Structure 1
Amino acid sequence: MATAVQSADGPTIAVEGLTKRYGERTVVDRLSMTVARGEVYGFLGPNGSGKTTSIRMMCGLLTPDAGAGHTLGLDVVREAATIKRRVGYMTQRFGLYEDLSIRENLEFIARMYDMDRRRERVAQALDRLGLATRAEQLAGRLSGGWKQRLALAACMLHEPELLLLDEPTAGVDPVARRDFWNEIHALAAEGITVLVSTHYMDEAERCHRLGYIAYGRLLASGTPDELVAQSGLASRSTEDPVDMPMLLALEQDPAVSTVTRLGNTLRASSAIASELDAALARHTARPWKTVPPTLEEVFIHLSRRAADNFA
């Protein structure tokens, strides 16, 4: 059987109705989405929402119970083994050998993939990720940011066309996160497609497009600006000192979707502007101004509307 080849202008990922069940629980429920070539696509959602399971189905590590799709032009069920060799997958937890050096870890990965030019490829990876000066350091003695660089170097070693990054910056300091994202966009500019799951809103805003998944279902997809515009949320803010009784009253009011405290600034949002204004008037006489909703407010609102798949 001939292997499908991804066209230069076709989507890197195109799946329809992907479903995964464990017992009676549906972890991923009819997921349909596309990711374009050279795109940085952010995958967001709360813990247990099905992000990791979805990623593993797309890269051939898990077989879906229903649905179909293609990754890099390859069938996610019938050609899973081929997909795995053309994809770089960076897991949530550091999965390399801590008692081997940076160089030894990369050389081991190169042998696993039976790569040609192994020394050259390892040297290039060390240089690109700024690891050359630490090449002989044991992986177990690296900080979180340096472990992250090593993990990215390892999953890029076989020159994949697609990177799947599962919460890659968890526990990493802001400077390392910034450097990581600069490298991700540099890779995307070279035509590599990146699907990255994250909990950080500042990282979400760095993505070309976003998908938000909760309780196994994709609830929204689009650019950050499109998701904010499509949400229909109304948001208000006040900068007077926050008093706790008022804050608690707003959090318990069913007309208010989200309440966020940022120093002396208080923000509140709701799907219905008139109900939000009435709720604010019920609990305080202070002035509120209209502000654009944030991505965080949009995603919290979406989560609260989703049906719990544990129920």
Structure 2
Amino acid sequence: MQRYASDHQEPSIVIEGLAKSFGQLEAVHPLSLSIGHGELFGLIGPDGAGKTTLLRMLTSLLLPTAGRASVEGLDVVRDYRALRLILGYMPGRFSLYQDLTVRENLEFFASVFGTTVTEGYSLIRDIYMQIEWFEGRRAGKLSGGMKQKLALSCALIHRPRVLFLDEPTTGVDPVSRREFWDMLQRLQQQGLTIMVSTPYMDEASRCGRIALMQSGHILQVDSPEGIKASYPHTLWAVRSERMIPLLTDLRQSPEVETAYTFGESYHVTLRTGSQGVEALRSSLHRAGHTSVSIEQISPSVEDCFMALHPSAS
């Protein structure tokens, strides 16, 4: 199995004031960021946050409006030809050839980079073993999880030094999502630098560091645990026997600062100077909720995102 070692002291990816506008729309506001060699880094945010635009600039597919960036010391604008030889890119939409078989897709992408499937097989062995039984099947006939594994194999067949993945688990089942992240972590353990975007907040825990992104801005960068530890409020999970009107009643309570849906409960923070949980319970009883559960909980990455960008709720 190939291991990616580096003697460089500089980060693998360096971003300095990078920005992108489309006419009057500022898709990515000027941002700066660095990602170390062998790091598994996540861009976490909803659709429209600017994740795809940022990845396309870093892979030389889109020219930045301002700022600069380098990957493995190569400028993403000036050195784009050399850059494309050392990076792998898996776009969000399945982009392989639907009418080619699994094996034919793999051979085609190897040939584009002047290599062969045999030469690149050591890196993709663990992934390809899961789909080689279907190597004679056309790519368009594969399940979502199998398409995902084939796309990853094609992105890795030329043994890149950096891997970029744009929302690779969107639209696949939970088991395939988990298997995919297991594969990424094994690649990262070999020293491959990986930058992956996802709208799924629960996937943040699989990354070493993450950037929370919204409306073209990076809101916070830290480890998932570091982000959760910085949450500034006490958080409560609230439920009652009348869940439909409960959210409205919570938001109308003078005790409540924020309230939003989270699974089977509502996550709530209280105002500064609030009289506390018992005052909230009493206000809900007055609103007709006779069975109220209020439990203190630890924040998730999604809770932290909501605190940083309240309008997202």
TM norm. shorter chain > 0.5: yes
Q: Equivalents in 2 of 1:261, 1:36: separation in Å?
A: 34
What residue ranges of structure 1 are gaps of 5+ in the alignment? 1-5, 307-311
Q: Tell me how far apart the structure 2 counterparts of residues 82 and 88 of structure 1 sit (CA, whole Å).
A: 12
Q: Is 1:186 matched with 2:186?
A: yes
CA distance in 2, matches of 1:14, 1:112: 27
Matches within 5 A, 1:61-72: 61-72=61-72
- Are 1:260 and 2:261 counterparts? yes
Match of 2:284 in 1: 284
Deviation of 1:85 after TM superposition, in Å, equals 1.5
For 1:293, the equivalent position in structure 2 comes to: 299
Residues 106 and 122, structure 1, Cα contact 8 Å, conserved in 2: no
CA distance in 2 between partners of 1:284 and 1:214 (Å):
33
Partner Cα distance (1:126, 1:135) in 2: 14
CA contact (8 A) 2:121 2:157 kept: no
The structural deviation recorded for 1:226 is 1.1
- SS in structure 1 of the partner of residue 46 of structure 2: coil
SS across alignment from 2:67: strand
Point out the more displaced range, 254-263 or 209-218. Answer: 254-263
Distance 1:40 1:125 in 2: 17
Instruction: Kindly indicate whether residue 134 of structure 2 is the aligned counterpart of residue 128 of structure 1.
Output: no
Distance 1:87 1:257, change over 3 A: farther
Q: Deviations over 1:183-229 (max 9, x none)?
A: 10010011101111111122111111110111111111101111122
Q: Distance in 2 between matches of 1:122 and 1:68?
A: 31
Deviations 1:255-277 (A, max 9, x none): 533423433x443236x554594
- Given the superposition, is the C-alpha separation of residues 197 and 253 from structure 1 closer, same or farther in structure 2, using an over 3 Å criterion? farther
Q: Distance in 2 between matches of 1:55 and 1:19?
A: 12
Offset of residue 173 of structure 1: 1.0
**Shift of residue 68 of structure 1?**
1.6
Q: Give the structure 2 partner of residue 3 of structure 1.
A: none
Structure 1 residue 39, shift from structure 2 partner: 1.1
C-alpha displacement of 1:287: 5.6
Q: Which residue of 1 aligns with 2:288?
A: none
1:231-268 Cα deviation digits (max 9, x unpaired): 313211245534322222224669533423433x4432
- Report the counterpart of residue 87 of structure 1 in structure 2: 87
Tell me, what secondary structure is at the counterpart of 1:111? helix
Question: In the alignment, which residue of structure 1 is the partner of 2:202?
Answer: 202
Deviation at 1:296, TM superposition (A): 1.1
Q: Distance in 1 between matches of 2:248 and 2:284?
A: 12
The CA deviation at 1:14 is 1.1
The answer to whether the 8 Å contact 2:166/2:198 transfers is: yes
Q: Scaled by the length of structure 1, what TM-score is found? A: 0.87
User: Mind listing any 5+ residue stretches in structure 2 that lack a counterpart?
Assistant: 1-5, 286-291
CA contact (8 A) 1:250 1:259 kept: no
The two structures, once aligned, show a CA RMSD in angstroms of 2.4
- Cα displacement (A) at 1:44: 1.1
- Partner residue in 1 for 2:151: 151
- Verify the 8 A CA contact 1:260 1:268 in the aligned structure 2: no
SS state of the match for residue 257, structure 1? strand
Bigger drift between 130-139 and 87-96 goes to 130-139
Q: What amino acid is aligned across from residue 215 of structure 2 in structure 1?
A: Y
**1:287 and 1:102, CA in 2 relative to 1: closer, same or farther beyond 3 A?**
closer
SS in 1 for 2:146: helix
Please give the secondary structure, in 2, of the residue aligned with 1:256: strand
Distance 1:119 1:92, change over 3 A: closer
Secondary structure of residue in 1 paired with 2:227:
helix
Aligned length: 297
Q: Runs (4+) of structure 1 moved beyond 6 Å?
A: none
Contact 2:45–2:201 under 8 Å retained in 1: no
**Identity percentage of aligned residues:** 36
Structure 2 equivalent of residue 309 of structure 1? none
Distance 1:143 1:251, change over 3 A: farther
C-alpha distance in 1, partners of 2:78/2:124?
A: 35
Checking the alignment, whether the CA contact within 8 Å between 1:269 and 1:293 is kept in structure 2 is: no
Change (3 A) 1:154 1:187: same
In 2, distance between residues paired with 1:287 and 1:133? 51
**1:205-284 correspondence runs (5 A):** 205-238=205-238, 240-251=240-251, 255-263=256-264, 265-269=265-269, 274-275=273-274, 277=276, 280-281=280-281, 283-284=283-284
